Amino acid sequence: MEVIARLEHVTKTYGKVVALDAVSLTVSRGVTAVLGPNGAGKSTMIELLSGLRRPTGGRVEVLGGDPGDLAVKARIGITPQRTALPWRLTVAETLDLLAAHYPKPLTRDEVVQRLDLGEFLHKRNGTLSGGQRRRVALGAALIGNPELLFLDEPTSGLDADSRDRLWAAIAEVSAGGRGVLLTTHDMAEAEHLAGRIVVIAGGKVARDGSLDDVIVEVGLHLVDIEVPDGTSPLTFTTIPAERVEQLGNRTRIYTADPDATVRALVLDRVPFRGIRVERVGLEEAIRAITAGDGDSVIPVSPAVPQLAERVS
């Protein structure tokens, strides 16, 4: 597969904080989703690839050149995490201003149609709703007809309709043979759009592969049991589990060895009346991979813990 951007042993530090730690990664055509908790280094990666920042160490190459080169900038598009629009200019004025900087831009009408911007085309950006602004921001990224698109949490805070519309536009861009690198906290977004998942944790690439690859590699399963109401407290002995959640009379056990977990539940005579065993989805897989990193820390013990919880 053709590589259109690459990071080679890239390190980025802010003072004593290491945002990216010797990261090597290639980006190909199609949609690549970069996932990870807040502070994992996702936005930094986009800022380095878009030429907004320079790496502390290593090498960044985009479309065969340095991302800071004007010739490279002319071939990429970006929506930063913070919506960046001139509040007192209209949508039309904004798109026209940006289009004038690119050698082969899309027409304003093409962008307006693709993102359904017509109804507020002549309104000032500052008067638009959050969802409308996000659509305009994506339009601002597309107007230059980029070969490679960087989207930093493009649908964050949007309602379902606006989100679906943006997803459709992103999918259309990708189907046209362009590369799209997006960061997101929305697993449904990654599942819906991305052919490839890159998980960043602690400034390093923790996983890189297809959606199925990432989930299978993590190898985490959910054992979901339901106990009858009024069941007297039970004492677990040794249960293989990575994490346990209790929701009323249901207990969700995340485990790397579902057979052993179920066997232990039976041996412990846990009086469950229903049990469901399944491979976890992307969200749980990412939690497991990024545990201990960033702001959303979910502790996962690699060892088999003693479970002291009781089902009430």
Concatenate the DSSP letters of all residues of 94-131 into one string.
HHHHHHTTSSSPPPHHHHHHHHT-GGGTTSBGGGS-HH
Q: Is 268 in the site for another protein (CB under 8 A)?
A: no
Judged by beta carbon, residue 144 or residue 240, the one nearer another protein is 144
Choose, by CB under 8 A, the member of 51, 139, 154, 240 that binds another protein.
Answer: 51
Quick check: 289 and 218 in contact, CB under 8 A?
yes
Q: Which of residues 13 and 26 has its CB atom nearest to another protein in the complex?
A: 13
CB of 96 to another protein, least distance (A): 9
The distance of closest approach from Cβ of residue 210 to another protein in the complex, given in angstroms and rounded to an integer, is: 30
CA atoms within 13 A on the CB side of 154: 33
Question: Which CB sits closer to another protein, 31 or 141?
Answer: 141
Q: How far apart are CA 240 and CA 220, in angstroms?
A: 12
Torsion of CA 17, 22, 28, 30, to 10 degrees: -30
How many CB atoms are closer than 10 A to CB 66? 15
Nearer to another protein, 101 or 276 (CB): 101
Query: Binding another protein by CB under 8 A: which of 140, 149, 193, 194?
Result: 140
Closer CB to another protein, residue 16 or residue 269?
Answer: 16
- Please report which helix (H) or strand (E) contains residue 275, including its range: strand 274-279
Asked whether position 303 contacts another protein by CB under 8 A, the answer is no
Residue where the block lists tokens 């412990």:
268
CB contact set of 63 (below 8 Å; sequence gap of 6+): 4, 5, 72, 75, 76, 147, 148
Contact between 133 and another protein by CB under 8 A: the answer reads no
144, 149, 150, 155 alpha-carbon torsion, rounded to 10°: 90
DSSP string, 40-56: SSHHHHHHHHTTSS--S
Residue 67 or residue 294: which is nearer to another protein going by CB?
67
Q: Which is nearer to another protein, 14 or 301 (CB)?
A: 14
Applying CB under 8 A, among 22, 74, 171, 256 the residue interacting with another protein is 74
Distance between CA atoms of 41 and 152, rounded to whole angstroms? 12
Two tokens at 196? 């490839």
DSSP letters, 200-247, are EETTEEEEEE-HHHHHHHHT-EEEEEE--TTPPP----B---SEEEEE
**73 is a site residue for another protein (CB under 8 A):** yes
Which of 54, 263, 273, 276 touches another protein by CB under 8 A? 54
Residue 70 is a binding residue for another protein (CB under 8 A): yes
Question: For residues 81-110, which are near another protein according to CB under 8 A?
Answer: 82-86, 88-89, 93, 97-98, 100-102
CB of 153 to another protein, least distance (A): 13
Q: Which is nearer to another protein, 53 or 221 (CB)?
A: 53
CB nearer to another protein: give 148 or 270.
148
70-78, 182-190, 196-204, 245-253 -> range binding another protein (CB under 8 A):
70-78
Question: How many C-beta atoms lie closer than 10 Å to residue 129's C-beta?
Answer: 12
Residue 72 Cβ vs another protein, minimum distance, rounded to whole Å:
8
Give contact residues for another protein (rule: CB under 8 A).
47, 50-54, 70-71, 73-74, 76, 78, 80, 82-86, 88-89, 93, 97-98, 100-102, 124, 140
